[in-house]
Amino acid sequence: MKSLSTVLLVVTAALLAACGTSAVIKNANNNTYSVSSQYGALNGSWTRATQEATDKAAAYCASVGQKYYFMNEQRSGVVGWSPQESNITFTCGADIVAIVKDLQNNCKAEMQDAELDIIRTKVELFRLAPNSPPAFDIATNTTYPNAKENIAIAKWAKIREACISKVDDAITSSHQPSTAMQKSFTDKQAEFRRQITAQVSALIVALYQGKLTYGEFAVKRYEMASSIDSAAADYRTAMLMQDRDAQMKAQQLAMQQQQNNIMAWGNYMQTVNARQPVMQQPTTARLQTNCVTNKFGNTATTNCN
């Protein structure tokens, strides 16, 4: 008869080495799925379990021609006593990254309109990277728009608004949140996007009104967008944290950063709106004022410089 210690060793070894991944299961009452994987400490523990569950979820979505979207992960088990299990909840949807990229390429094409050439070297018509500062020549441009340039600015603003609307509609319609947590995350990301859109639009209006130079417009656009993008990134990172207390603290910090941005923005725009408009005058030909007349007999010749 085996001793108790021998039995315990056998059981412990089995638990440390336990492994396996379940089939994908569709959850009731919503459009979400679950898949789990478990590994003992000797075979990779939660790290391997999470990776294999994620891989299986992504493969499932790919098999139906859709994109994998992570929702949450639940971990269970005790190292040394029971298998370490990762249960991934996910959903499948349209590849929003590819859709948005196509829409952005269309927007770039629209902004190649020849009527925008007059401002093309003064304004970044299409800007993807909020953390990339404007070019030196643009950031140091101290001129204001003239009447002809304002026509181009107005056209650019309309193209930009239409492009943003199409992207927002695509994001909203292609991936509907299935849980309260996912809806909260989606709504918050939409809020960050709306904040950037509204503030850049306000800067364009101020530029059009002659209250901003091209250089100040470019620099403030960069500073504002990068600050909001930073807060949005911090919020996304917080949502992926496993520790609930740490997640709440990180979320609060991200939201406080957003509120600080909003307050600073309000103060800045208050000063801009109080400015008197400046309209740059189009360059005109220099008047000829220095003239010399030479007379040869009955013929006189006048030359002006």
Domain boundaries, the chain: 16-93, 96-273
| Strands of the chain, DSSP E | 19-21, 25-26, 33-39, 67-76, 84-93, 291-296, 299-304
Measured CA to CA, the distance from residue 45 to residue 143 in angstroms comes to 62
The band of 275, judged by pLDDT with boundaries at 50, 70 and 90, is very high
Q: Assess whether pLDDT exceeds 90 at residue 8.
A: no
Res 205 pLDDT > 90: yes
Largest CA distance in the chain: 142
Among residues 263, 261, 259, 237, the alpha carbon closest in space to that of 249 is found at: 237
pLDDT at 292 over 60: no
Please say if the pLDDT value at position 53 is more than 50.
Answer: yes
- Which run of H or E residues covers position 157? helix 147-174
Which pTM was predicted? 0.66
Q: Which neighbouring-strand residues pair with 91?
A: 69
When the pLDDT of each residue in the chain is averaged and rounded to a whole number, the result is 82
Q: Are 168 and 303 in contact (CB under 8 A)?
A: no
User: Measured between alpha carbons, how far is 191 from 15 in angstroms, rounded to an integer?
Assistant: 46
Which one is predicted more confidently, 251 or 157? 157
